[in-house]
Amino acid sequence: MKVLANDGLTQSGVDALRNNGFQVITDKVAQEDLITYINANQVTVLLVRSATKVTKEMIDSCPTMEIIGRGGVGMDNIEVAYAREKGKHVINTPAASSESVAELVFAHLFSGCRFLQDANRQMPVKGNTEFAKLKKKYEAGIELRGKTIGIVGIGRIGQEVARIALGLGMKVIASDTRIGKASVRVDFYNSQYINVEIETEPLEQLIQHSDFITLHVPAQNGPIIGKAELDKMKPGAAIVNCARGGVIDENALIEALDSGKLAFAGLDVFENEPTPSDQILTHPKISLTPHTGAATEEAQDRIGTELANQIASILLVK
């Protein structure tokens, strides 16, 4: 049986599949050629990340394709309900990249709190001529300890964010339309740990009380953080989006940053991905990454082996 990993797969995942007798193809096939390629090569399993789209046409046109796998959490690039209706297995790896995304949230928070996103642009060109001026510009940083972080969406990734925040001495509040209470375990050395219960609250309340807001929600039909929500945030607060592009109104965000209402923002995802607006890309108060939340070596290894195990459990027990 053939597995096409069209958006790539780690060597650990490839090895796990091959050890179970699968032929793994890691060649990148253009979107417009996928149907022809899958049929010509009788591909049984199609693995994708965010780049490849699995459409209704593809599902209808590829009878040999039994499994569609998404390396990661979100599956908005796959017609999931339609595929399952047509008898296809649709799998993903919701837990594999939680730690990686959560750590990137704090990379953006630390960056914004200490002006790293701007200092890293200015120091190479002005560091040896305007050192004292830059030192003055960036010396009013703030600490995370003791501040309140509001987590919008307290699922797997949100709970990982909470775990790190608690370890940093932050106050953690959360809002979620589906979860009323989350129990977060914080581990220490010598097998010691504590469990912290976090009861969720309405989004409007979280917005008003948070020093920092981080979003961990699936793709939405429109922004959940727009001008009205940004206006209700604390003066000098900040926001991070490592979830999905479009959940923040970027025009309203720029306005809030320019007015000084918000201190900074951190963005890993964008409304117009993969072509973010110039206003976003050049703004000195925005810390930027190109949708790399799950892109750590450890996460990719977990994703690859988890997909391989799921595929084997489906196809090898027939």
Residue 89: closest CA among 316, 314, 318: 314
Q: Within this chain, do residues 266 and 126 fall inside the same structural domain, yes or no?
A: yes
The pLDDT assigned to 4 comes to 97
Structural domains of the chain, count: 2
Q: Within this chain, do residues 137 and 211 fall inside the same structural domain, yes or no?
A: yes
State residue 286 phi and psi, 5-degree precision: -115, 125
The pLDDT assigned to 212 comes to 98
Q: Within this chain, do residues 122 and 267 fall inside the same structural domain, yes or no?
A: yes
Residues catalogued as catalytic: 244, 273, 291
Q: Within this chain, do residues 176 and 255 fall inside the same structural domain, yes or no?
A: yes
In contact, 223 and 197? CB cutoff 8 Å: no
Residue 199 tokens read as 């009861």
What's the CATH number where 151 sits? 3.40.50.720
Average pLDDT, 10 consecutive residues per value, the chain (318 residues): 94 93 95 97 94 96 97 89 97 92 98 98 97 97 98 96 97 97 93 95 98 94 96 98 96 98 98 95 97 92 92 83
Handedness of CA 280, 284, 287, 291 (dihedral sign): positive
Q: Within this chain, do residues 138 and 274 fall inside the same structural domain, yes or no?
A: yes
The pLDDT assigned to 72 comes to 83
Residue 216 tokens read as 């961990």
Q: Within this chain, do residues 133 and 249 fall inside the same structural domain, yes or no?
A: yes
Q: Within this chain, do residues 53 and 134 fall inside the same structural domain, yes or no?
A: no
Q: Within this chain, do residues 115 and 75 fall inside the same structural domain, yes or no?
A: no
Q: Within this chain, do residues 121 and 37 fall inside the same structural domain, yes or no?
A: no
Residue 252: closest CA among 242, 243, 239: 239
In contact, 43 and 62? CB cutoff 8 Å: yes
State residue 274 phi and psi, 5-degree precision: -100, 25
Q: Give this prediction's pTM.
A: 0.88
Tell me the residue range of the domain where 17 lies: 2-94+297-315
DSSP per-residue codes, 11-32:
HHHHHHHHHTT-EEE-----GG
In contact, 301 and 99? CB cutoff 8 Å: no
Q: What is the DSSP letter of 234?
A: P
List, in order, residues 6 or more apart from 88 with CB less than 8 Å away: 59, 65, 66, 67, 68
Q: Within this chain, do residues 264 and 143 fall inside the same structural domain, yes or no?
A: yes
How far is residue 112's CA from residue 156's CA, in Å, rounded to a whole number? 24
Q: Within this chain, do residues 64 and 6 fall inside the same structural domain, yes or no?
A: yes
List, in order, residues 6 or more apart from 103 with CB less than 8 Å away: 164, 296
Q: Which residues pair with 174 in a beta bridge?
A: 151, 200
Q: Within this chain, do residues 56 and 115 fall inside the same structural domain, yes or no?
A: no
